[in-house]
Amino acid sequence: MATVDLKSDKPRMIAWAERNQNVAVAVAAIFILLYVAPVLLAAAATIQSDFFMEESAVLVWFAAFMKSSEATLGGVHKVLFPFLVTLSVIAFKDKLNYWVLGLAMFVVLMFMLTVWVGVLLDVDQYRHSLEAQKAAKLDASVARTFFSKMQDTLLMYVALLLGLSATNEKR
Amino acid sequence: MKSAKPLLLLLLLSSVPFASIGEELILRVKVISEQAVSEVNLQHEEGVSQHALSKDKAAGVFVGSVPTGALNGIAENSKVVNPYRAVVTWSDNENDQIFLAFRYPVPPMLAVSVYRDISSFKEEDIDAVDKLGSDYESTFKKYFRAKAFHKHWRHTLALEDHYLALRSARIWFDAAVALGKRPVFRMDADVTAIMREYEEKAKTDRRFAERYRKYVPKVGYIEVTIDQVRAAEFDFVGKIPGLLKAGKFDEAKTLNIKAKETLQDAPMEIRKAVEKHQGVNLDLLERNLTSIPN
């Protein structure tokens, strides 16, 4: 019976990731950081602007990202996730579970951060103080929708990591 | 010719009471608002007198003719500044006021404007208010629009520490000062209290101070400005040395007595401000009383 060498059909990225697992872990970490960057930006803007009480350069950046969430920046953000998932599966395969669990904890933390910022944007006071700013010009409802989508995605990623951790455990 | 003499005498006698009628203040209040006005009054600060203004539909303003004798405290030997306010009461029971300060002699005519025409409270809106000029009419626009903007942020949104609340308070304060430095107006007590509250908070809250100092960079600026405006009410005391030099001793003495009476009743901070800005204090006025020749 003839066998098919599946290895040879693997995309280059996967083959490379398998050979350089440590580098893949580092790249995955960078990807996750890039993916959650808007959340970190929003949290930093909230703190820097004293809960939107003053103008903030970080807030302006976050608002700029939100404005183009359906355009270039948003597109890049969406593309990051499939790459991150693929890379994670390979990078964390056979890795010690504390790496995977550590990452899952970090993602859960980011999830909590999106919840926190989302709730803030639901409070009338903060929404008004944010929306009145000329430089930021941020539509709070757009930001809330963005965070809501991001929460779903982050939870999916946590599920994936936990699944991976369970598979590693069996091996 | 014989019959003309009693007629002339009658005319002369009849002109005596009409002399005081001629001394009246015509107050015109222009109201710019979508909101209906229920009444416009000229009120004494302590509520001892009130004069209703009627609407001149053709001109679209509220007009009142008040004999100066009917204005409380406006007499030659009275206290110098008599606090009044023009109050516009809106149909929703809110009101807007212009703080007035009459002194003898009262001007025959005073035209003021009240604006309640701001309904959006974003940064662009306060930018537009800030860009208004510094002429008489624009000062009213600035004053009422900045005040409405600030009150929206302070009371409706409960965000009195937001940078737009601070910025609007500063614009309101500047407009109130610009009005207060004019002879017939005085400083708005509300914005004075608000700015003092901010100054106090800036002493204890570092984060707030950083934000507040973008709009009021100099520590102590608010108090100095308030003192200047309040001292301006006493600018007449600065005329005493000039009158003495000109040999107008009777006038100088009358003014000296008025100044002394007024300053004696004034709080210490006002006395200090008058001394600083007008160069006159109670000791000097006391010495003047004995040294001014009769």
Q: Across the interface, do A125 and B157 touch by the CB < 8 Å criterion?
A: yes
A67-81, A152-166, B135-149: range with highest mean pLDDT: B135-149
Residues of B with CB under 8 A from a CB of A: 121-124, 127, 157-159, 161-164, 207, 211
**Chain B residues touching residue A125 (CB < 8 angstroms):** 157-159
Q: What angle do CA A134, A137, A143 make, to 5 degrees?
A: 155
Name which of B162, B207, B211 is nearest A129 (Cβ-Cβ): B162
d(CA B69, CA B73): 8
pLDDT in tens, B4-36: 444 444 433 333 322 233 478 899 999 999 889
Q: CA A151, A154, A157 angle in degrees (round to 5)?
A: 155
DSSP state of B153: I
Least confident residue range of A34-43, B233-242, B255-264? B233-242
pTM of the model: 0.78
Interface of A with B in 62-121 (CB under 8 A): none
- For residue A134, which residues of chain B lie inside 8 Å, CB to CB? 122-124, 127
A125–B161 CB contact, under 8 Å: no
Integer Cα distance of A39 and A87 in angstroms: 21
Residue A27 has which token pair? 């790249």
Nearest Cα to Cα of residue A138 among A66, A46, A74: A66
At B187-224, the pLDDT tens digits run 999 999 999 999 999 999 999 999 999 999 999 999 98
Residues of chain A with C-beta less than 8 angstroms from the C-beta of B163? 53-55
Q: Are A161 and A91 in contact (CB under 8 A)?
A: no
* Measured distance CA(A97)–CA(A104) in Å, rounded: 10
Identity of the highest mean pLDDT range in A5-14, A36-45, B169-178, B239-248: B169-178
Residue A154: which of A103, A119, A116 has the closest Cα?
A: A103
Q: Do B157 and A133 touch (CB under 8 A)?
A: no
- What is the phi-psi region of residue A148: left when phi exceeds 0, alpha when psi lies from -120 to 50, beta otherwise? alpha
Query: And the tokens for B18?
Result: 């009409």
Query: pLDDT: is B225 or B15 the higher one?
Result: B225
- A54 contacts on B by Cβ (under 8 Å): 162-163, 211
Neighbour-count burial for B195-226, b at 16+ CB within 10 Å, e otherwise = beebbeebeeeeebbebbeebbeeeeebeebb
Axis crossing angle, helix A140-170 with helix A57-67, rounded to the nearest 10: 80
Provide the pLDDT for residue A4: 46
Q: CB–CB of A125 and B159 under 8 A? A: yes
The residue ranking higher by pLDDT, B125 or A84, is: B125
- The interface predicted TM-score (ipTM) is 0.71
Contact of A152 with chain B, judged by CB distance below 8 Å, is answered with no
A131 in B contact zone (CB under 8 Å): yes
Cβ contact (<8 Å) for B123 and A134? yes
pLDDT surpassing 70 at residue B259: yes
Please, which residues have CB within 8 angstroms of residue B147's CB and are 6 or more apart in sequence? B168, B172, B190, B191
> Cis omega (within 30 of 0) on the bond before B105?
yes
Any idea which of A115-124, B20-29, B55-64, B154-163 has the lowest mean pLDDT? B20-29
What tokens appear for B62 in the block?
């509220």
The label of the residue with tokens 């890795």 reads: A95
pLDDT at B236 over 70: yes
Q: How far is CA B208 from CA A53, B66, B249, in A?
A: 9, 47, 54
Contact A53 B158 (CB under 8 A): no
Number of Cβ within a 10 Å radius of residue A139:
15
Question: Quick one: which of B115, B113, B93 has its CA closest to B34?
Answer: B115
The predicted model gives B84-93 an average pLDDT of 93
